[in-house]
Structure 1
Amino acid sequence: MLGRILLVVLALLMAIPAGALALLGGVLLDPALREAFGRLGLAGLFTGLADLAAGVPPDLAASMLAFLAQALALLVVVPPILTALIGETFGLRSALWYGGVGAGLTAALPWLARGAALPPAGPAAAARLSAILLATGAASGLTYWLIAGRSAGTRPSAP
């Protein structure tokens, strides 16, 4: 039992960065998202530097960083953990379960969070973002499946 828990933890420690890399790659490959994050990053940097130069404590920068960390954790950490917990509980070994449910859950979370409303950029941007999030969830779910999901629910035979 302890060996299985360690394998699950190791698999999650590998699946979460795999999903983060897939998300980063998707954002960098999409021109509109790359430009938006570039502007946001530069605007945040210039605002933070101006605040520091004016002597204002960097509370706003810290709160923005905390919000960004929470959003990334919601997208990259929660779906593989939920998928793994359900898969391990029911002994599911299918790559379709880990990749598909991980992808669907990752893509559905932003839609659920904003009440199924389209983002201001329009339906094309929403479709591209959904595709990136599907790839993110699939990457993390399949990474987990490769390490620990294939042997979920199996018990070692007694010698």
Structure 2
Amino acid sequence: MIRYILLIPFALLIAIGASSLFLLIASVVDPVMAVLTGDTLLVGFWAFVDEVFSAEDPGPIVVAAFEAVGRIVFTLLVFPPLLVAVLSEVIRARSGLWYAGATGVLTAAIPWILRGSARVGSPGELHVSFVLGLTGAVAGLVYWAIAGRDSGRSPAATAPTSPGS
């Protein structure tokens, strides 16, 4: 019971933090991600500033901006490890490859699923999907290292045994 109350939420928080750190580093180090991130932040910041200064009451604009950023963060960094963790508990998966692969594939597929069009992606889009897949794989591996190895085992199977038994 402690596993479901403390260990799994703790493992998810650490996994989400690790994948966020990985995506931040990838957004700085990787040339394609750096250009994408820089352009997005620059355009987004100036559009936000223009909207705030042109509005009589900027409160709703600021709230909407925070909600949009929250939805993006939830969709890319929180939802995939959460879904894989719940699914893994149900099917009692314990493989690190499963956690890394399922979370990585789901995270990489999210932009394609949300787009909804069936077309071949450009090399830049495929590169971003690859980096998002690695981000998800980091989350899956960190979650597995903390809580996934014991997924689906009974408490008696995970209890330490004494040398005399």
Structure 2 length as normaliser, TM-score?
0.82
Alpha-carbon distance in structure 2 between the residues aligned to 1:118 and 1:25: 29
Q: 2:152 corresponds to which residue? A: 153
Alpha-carbon distance in structure 2 between the residues aligned to 1:73 and 1:147: 21
Q: 1:100 corresponds to which residue? A: 101
Q: 1:110 corresponds to which residue? A: 111
Q: 1:86 corresponds to which residue? A: 87
- Which runs of 5 or more structure 1 residues have no equivalent in the other structure? none
Residue 28 (structure 1) shift: 1.8
Residue 61 (structure 1) shift: 4.0
TM-aligned CA distance change 1:116 to 1:101, over 3 Å: farther
Q: 1:34 corresponds to which residue? A: 34
Residue 46 (structure 1) shift: 3.5
Secondary structure, counterpart of 2:155 in structure 1: coil
Alpha-carbon distance in structure 1 between the residues aligned to 2:4 and 2:49: 48
Structure scoring higher RCO (CA < 8 A, sep ≥ 6) equals 1
Q: 1:73 corresponds to which residue? A: 74
Residue 69 of structure 1 aligns with an amino acid whose one-letter code is G
Residue 47 (structure 1) shift: 4.1
Residue 20 (structure 1) shift: 1.2
Asked if the contact 2:92–2:151 (Cα under 8 Å) also holds between the matched residues in 1, the reply is yes
Residue 146 of structure 1 aligns with an amino acid whose one-letter code is A
TM-aligned CA distance change 1:67 to 1:55, over 3 Å: closer
TM-aligned CA distance change 1:117 to 1:126, over 3 Å: farther
Residue 125 of structure 1 aligns with an amino acid whose one-letter code is G
Secondary structure, counterpart of 1:77 in structure 2: helix
Asked if the contact 2:51–2:61 (Cα under 8 Å) also holds between the matched residues in 1, the reply is no
Residue 129 of structure 2 aligns with an amino acid whose one-letter code is S
Alpha-carbon distance in structure 2 between the residues aligned to 1:118 and 1:27: 25
- Which runs of 5 or more structure 2 residues have no equivalent in the other structure? none
Q: 1:5 corresponds to which residue? A: 5
Q: Percent identity?
A: 37
Residue 72 of structure 1 aligns with an amino acid whose one-letter code is V
Q: Larger deviation: 48-57 or 81-90?
A: 48-57
The RMSD of aligned alpha carbons is 2.4
Asked if the contact 1:51–1:57 (Cα under 8 Å) also holds between the matched residues in 2, the reply is no
Alpha-carbon distance in structure 2 between the residues aligned to 1:94 and 1:55: 53
Alpha-carbon distance in structure 2 between the residues aligned to 1:117 and 1:69: 27
Please list the CA deviations of residues 61-110 of structure 1 after superposition, one character each: whole Å capped at 9, or x if unmatched.
43233212201210100010111011111211100110000000111111
Alpha-carbon distance in structure 2 between the residues aligned to 1:5 and 1:36: 39
Q: Larger deviation: 46-55 or 58-67?
A: 46-55
